[in-house]
Amino acid sequence: MMRYTTKYLKMSLLMFLFTTVGVAQNLTVISYNIRYNSQSDGEDIWDLRKGELVGQINQHSPDSFGVQEATQIQMQYILEALPEYAYVGVGRDNGATKGEYSAVFYLKEKFKLLESKTFWLSETPEEVSVGWDAALPRICTYAQFKEHTTGRVFWHFNTHFDHVGKAARANSALLIIEKIKSLVSTESVFVLTGDFNASPNELPITHLKNAFRDPLEYIELSGPEGTFNAFNLQAPLDRRIDYIFFQGLTPLSYAHLSEKRANGRWISDHLPVKFDLAY
């Protein structure tokens, strides 16, 4: 009972602060690790699930969404299947088209792109690099948007932390916190989406929760507890490693989307995370 009371009080405070600044504008943001197009995935290969993946995105109609593990061929397919969106981002292996993207897609008719950039999660973030004890290059892509109708400004950061390096994950969190604080004022609005390869009680997530806001501190989760399914239909969905953090927004709903393909298999090896908010 105390947990729900605390959430209610936090949410009430956010709503009070929000209603003093003007009329609400609703946004929907999604974070989605789409699983790279590995030919070893058998009945879960990209070509067999890509149509239902873009159908799922279209069904939930995000204003912006961040993808992880997307290769160039997957990026091109999503762009062609969802022509109302544009994207910012680069491949992590060369800063162009090679390697996985952590791209941000956005509705072209809703937003004007003001600024975008990608930095590497390493000691040398301005160049292609592998950081600390990471197994692979890791990146964060961000975009600053201006809403056409209201003129309101909104930032979207998107990332994918290393799956091996414990120090890399912790230091990546600190680097992203530093970068966001250098770019975004405390009064500005942003979301940080991503696959952080860390559970809620691990250090990278603790760092991020201390710096920013986790919607689940304010509202209840809809859907399974976890986000990683590994294409396993029998395993319990209790491992939460995909998150959306925020600042300057009022959370409305937060869901781990558990729709499946027509054949009963998972659409990706991660569940997408959907965040409805007002600002």
Scan for tokens 């009963």, then name that residue. Answer: 264
Distance CA 33, CA 13 (A): 32
Q: Which amino acid is at 16?
A: F
Reported pTM: 0.93
As a whole number, mean pLDDT of residues 57-81 equals: 99
Q: In what order do the strands lie in the sheet with 190-195?
A: 111-120, 139-147, 153-160, 190-195, 242-247
162 close to 169: Cβ distance less than 8 angstroms: yes
User: Which CATH number belongs to the domain containing residue 81 in this structure?
Assistant: 3.60.10.10
- The secondary structure of residue 152, as a DSSP letter, is -
Q: Check residue 25 and give its pLDDT.
A: 85
pLDDT for 20 beyond 80: no
The predicted-structure confidence for 226-251, as pLDDT tens digits, reads as follows 999 999 999 999 999 999 999 999 99
Distance CA 200, CA 217 (A): 12
Q: Check residue 64 and give its pLDDT.
A: 99
Q: Check residue 2 and give its pLDDT.
A: 54
270 Cβ contact list (under 8 Å, min separation 6): 32, 33, 34, 35, 68, 195, 227, 228, 229, 241, 242
Distance CA 242, CA 184 (A): 22
Q: Domain total for the chain? A: 1
Q: Check residue 14 and give its pLDDT.
A: 54
Q: How many Cα atoms sit within 13 Å of 229 on the Cβ side?
A: 24
The mean pLDDT value of the chain amounts to 94
The predicted-structure confidence for 117-127, as pLDDT tens digits, reads as follows 999 999 999 99
Distance CA 26, CA 214 (A): 18
233 Cβ contact list (under 8 Å, min separation 6): 264, 265, 266
Q: Is residue 17 very low, low, confident or very high in pLDDT (cuts 50, 70, 90)?
A: very low
Does an H or E element contain 18, and which? helix 2-19
pLDDT for 261 beyond 80: yes
Distance CA 274, CA 177 (A): 22
The predicted-structure confidence for 183-211, as pLDDT tens digits, reads as follows 999 889 999 999 999 999 999 999 999 99
Domain span including residue 96: 2-278
Token reading at 112: 């004007």
The predicted-structure confidence for 136-183, as pLDDT tens digits, reads as follows 999 999 999 999 999 999 999 999 999 999 999 999 999 999 999 999
As a whole number, mean pLDDT of residues 108-120 equals: 98
